[in-house]
Chains A and B, each alone.
Chain A
Amino acid sequence: MTTILQYTLSGLAIGGVYALVALGFHIMWSTAKAVNFAHGDTLMIGAVLAVMGVDAGMPVWLACSLAILAGAVFGVALERVAVRPFTAQANSIGWMLSTIAIGIMAESLATMQFGGFSRPLPSPGVDRPINVFGAGVYPQELLIPAVAIVLTLGLGLMQKRTLVGRAMRAVAHDKRAAALMGINVNRIVALSFGLSALLGAGAGVLVAPVIQASATMGVLLGLKGFAVAIIGGITSAPGVLVAGLAFGVLEKFVEGYISTAAREIVAFGVMIAVLLVFPQGLFGKRETVKV
Chain B
Amino acid sequence: MSRSHLLGFLAFAALLVAVPLTAENEYELRLFMLFLIYGLIAVGLNVLVGLTGLVSLGQAGLFALGSYTGAILAVRLGADLVTASIGAAVVAALFGVALAYPTVRVRGVYLAVVTIAFGIIVENVAIEWTALTGGTTGLSGIPTPSVFGYELTGYGFYGVLAATLLLATLAAHNLTDSRYGRAMLAVSQSEIAARSLGVNATAMRILAFVAAAVTAGVAGVFYSFLNQYISPDIFTFSDSVRFLLMVILGGAATTFGPVLGAFVLTYLPEYLQDFQLWQKFAYGALLLAVMFVLPRGVMGTLGLGLKRLRPAARGLDPAEVAAAGAGLPAASRATTAELVTQGLTVRFGGLTALSHANVRVKGGEVHALIGPNGAGKSTFVNAISGVYRPSEGAFGIDGEDLTGKSQHEIARLGLARTFQNTELFGELTVLENVLVGGQSRLRYGLVDALLRTPRRRREERELRAAAVGLLAFVGLTDHANEAARYLPFGLQRRLEIARALAARPRLLLLDEPAAGLTSQEIDELAAMIRKIAASGVSVLLIEHHVDLIMAVADTVTVLDYGQVIASDRPGVVQNDPRVIEAYFGSPVAHGELSEASA
A residues engaging B (CB < 8 A)? Answer: 35, 82, 85-86, 90-94, 96-98, 100-105, 107-109, 111-112, 219, 223, 226-227, 230, 259, 261-262, 264-265, 268-269, 271-272, 275-276, 279, 289, 291
Contacts and interface: CB of A to CB of B under 8 A. Distances in A.
B108 A275 contact: no
Contacts of A261: 124-125, 127-128
Nearest to A112: B277
Contacts of B278: 108, 112
Given A93-B55, A289-B192, 10 more contacts: A35-B109, A97-B241, A97-B244, A97-B248, A101-B287, A105-B281, A261-B128, A271-B114, A276-B101, A291-B421
B280 A108 contact: yes
A86 to B, nearest CB: 7
B116 interface: yes
Interface string B541-565: 0000000000000000000000000
Contacts of B419: 291
B125 A265 contact: yes
Nearest to A270: B117
- Categorize the interface residue count of chain B: 35 or more
Q: Which of A109, A272, A291 has the most CB of B within 10 A?
A: A291
Interface in B43-67: 49, 53, 55, 57
Q: Which of A85, A98, A104, A264 has the most CB of B within 10 A?
A: A104
A103 B116 CA distance: 16
A85 B293 CA distance: 12
Contact of A97 (B101, B114, B245): B245
B128 A276 contact: no
A262 to B, nearest CB: 6
A102 to B, nearest CB: 7
B106 interface: yes
Given A97-B248, A264-B121, A86 B291 contact: yes
Contact of A104 (B108, B120, B283, B295): B283
| 9 A-B pairs with least C-beta separation | A104-B284, A268-B117, A101-B287, A105-B284, A108-B280, A101-B288, A108-B281, A261-B128, A279-B105
Contacts of A102: 284, 288
B102 A276 contact: yes
Nearest to A82: B288
Contact of B105 (A90, A107, A227, A276): A276
B113 A227 contact: yes
A272 B287 contact: no
Contacts of B279: 108
A57 B241 CA distance: 39
Contacts of B101: 276
A33 B117 CA distance: 21
Nearest to A106: B284
Majority secondary structure, A binding face: helix
Interface of B: 49, 53, 55, 57, 101-102, 105-106, 108-110, 112-114, 116-118, 120-121, 123-125, 127-128, 192, 237-238, 241, 244-245, 248, 277-281, 283-285, 287-288, 290-292, 295, 378, 382, 387, 419-421, 423
A91 B53 contact: yes
A86 B421 CA distance: 25
Contacts of A272: 102, 114, 117-118
Contacts of B108: 91-92
A100 B287 contact: yes
A104 B280 contact: yes
B284 A226 contact: no
A100 B114 contact: no
A268 B287 contact: no
A36 to B, nearest CB: 12
B423 A103 contact: no
Contacts of B123: 264
11 contacts: A92-B112, A97-B248, A100-B287, A101-B285, A105-B281, A261-B125, A264-B124, A265-B121, A268-B117, A275-B110, A276-B105
A227 B112 CA distance: 11
Nearest to A262: B128
Contacts of B102: 272, 275-276
A145 B423 CA distance: 48
A272 B120 CA distance: 12
Contacts of B277: 111-112
A86 B109 CA distance: 14
Contacts of A291: 192, 378, 382, 387, 419-421, 423
B416 to A, nearest CB: 15
A266 to B, nearest CB: 9
Given A93-B248, A104-B283, A271 B124 contact: no
Contacts of A265: 121, 124-125, 128
B49 A93 contact: yes
A275 B105 contact: yes
Given A35-B109, A104-B283, A108-B278, A269 B121 contact: yes
A230 B113 contact: yes
A255 B446 CA distance: 46
A35 B245 CA distance: 19
Given A105-B288, A109-B281, A92 B124 contact: no
A219 B114 CA distance: 16
Contact of A107 (B106, B280, B291): B280
B55 A92 contact: yes
B288 A271 contact: no
A211 to B, nearest CB: 18
A256 to B, nearest CB: 15
A107 B281 CA distance: 8
B55 A259 contact: no
B393 to A, nearest CB: 21
A144 B420 CA distance: 52
B111 to A, nearest CB: 9
Nearest to B126: A261
Contacts of A105: 280-281, 284-285, 288
A68 B192 CA distance: 45
Contact of B112 (A82, A90, A96, A271): A96
A48 to B, nearest CB: 16
Given A92-B55, A291-B420, A262 B124 contact: yes
Nearest to B57: A96
Contacts of A85: 292
Given A96-B112, A104-B284, A264-B124, A227 B117 contact: yes
Contact of A279 (B49, B106, B112, B421): B106
Nearest to B108: A92
Contacts of B120: 223, 264, 268
A289 B423 CA distance: 13
A279 B110 contact: yes
A97 B295 CA distance: 11
Contact of A230 (B110, B118, B387): B110
Given A97-B287, A108-B280, A291-B419, A92 B121 contact: no
A85 B288 CA distance: 12
A289 B421 CA distance: 13
Contact of A223 (B116, B124, B284): B116
A130 B527 CA distance: 86
A85 to B, nearest CB: 7
Contacts of B238: 104
A259 B110 CA distance: 27
Contacts of B387: 291
A265 B283 CA distance: 29
A265 B287 CA distance: 29
A186 to B, nearest CB: 19
A269 to B, nearest CB: 6
B271 to A, nearest CB: 17
Contact of B295 (A90, A94, A289): A94
Contacts of B241: 97, 100
Given A92-B112, A275-B105, A275-B110, A98 B291 contact: yes
B346 to A, nearest CB: 14
A265 B277 CA distance: 32
Contact of A101 (B49, B114, B192, B291): B291
